[in-house]
Amino acid sequence: MALAETNLIHMNLKAKSIIKICTVGAFFLSVVNCASNIPDSGRTLIWNDEFNGKGLPDSLKWNYDTGGGGFGNEEAQFYTKNRLENVRMEKGNLIIEAKKENWENNKYTSARLLTKGKFAFQYGTIEVRAKLPKGRGTWPAIWMMSENMKKWPDDGELDIMEHVGFNQGYVHASVHTKKYNHIQGTQKTDTLFVKGVSETFHVYKADWTPEKIDVYIDERKFFTYENKEKNYGAWPFDQPYFIILNLAVGGMWGGKEGIDDLVFPQKYYIDYVRVYQNK
């Protein structure tokens, strides 16, 4: 991305993200979410999607995972591709919508977007401003996996945000590696209660360095995973990772207390995704 374009994005972060007017000057007006989006000389915006268009998400930035079959988690939805009913840009947001409908032997539809093959990064900061769906059976996530994934969980997974609807307001962040993963019950994880998680937007952020990963919600750090053991079994996070946004229905965790069909359709709103390189 050209420097001029980067500066323009920093100076004109869209009006629909307005929280406060942080700085007003004769020649400079920055309308931003003050907590996390003030232009910072310590980092450079290297990739973003503001979802300002209309219709399907940008195919130059996003691919789809498609199909049913549970995706290893006994999930109940079928992930569709290029279907506006399940994913679209609308009024400055990306909307992933889970619907109660029959689709190829599945009882629900939804969407899972990923930047694999289009964008991956190694170290830096990712910020996603989102408003989550609610209701028993919903399971939205913001997460990352290795661009060169050969074996899970050996090559690592970073879950920046997971929320299961039967436990409203409790947001989880985790890492999964060969040594630490939920199959063995050894995953590294933590939880933060966020009031109004489905009524208002919040910023979910991960800072990733060779030494550690810190995860925040609205600048409140609640999870840290450190590279203490200096081996691949515990720390596979020295390679490029891609971004995943999805809304699952049911599953071993999301459906642990069943699925309430009366809550559907449910919408997962993403205001923006921004990735910064830290200097």
Q: Which amino acid is at 257?
A: E
DSSP label at 53?
A: S
- Give backbone dihedrals phi and psi of 59, rounded to 5 degrees, phi first: -70, -15
User: Looking at 162, 199, 211, 257, which residue is catalytic?
Assistant: 162
Question: Is 157 annotated in the active site?
Answer: yes
Question: Is 162 annotated in the active site?
Answer: yes
The distance from CA 83 to its chain's CA centroid, rounded to whole angstroms, is 20
Cβ neighbours of 19 (radius 10 Å) = 15
Q: Where are the alpha helices (DSSP H) in 96-206?
A: none
User: Looking at 75, 104, 157, 229, which residue is catalytic?
Assistant: 157
Mind telling me the catalytic residues? 157, 162
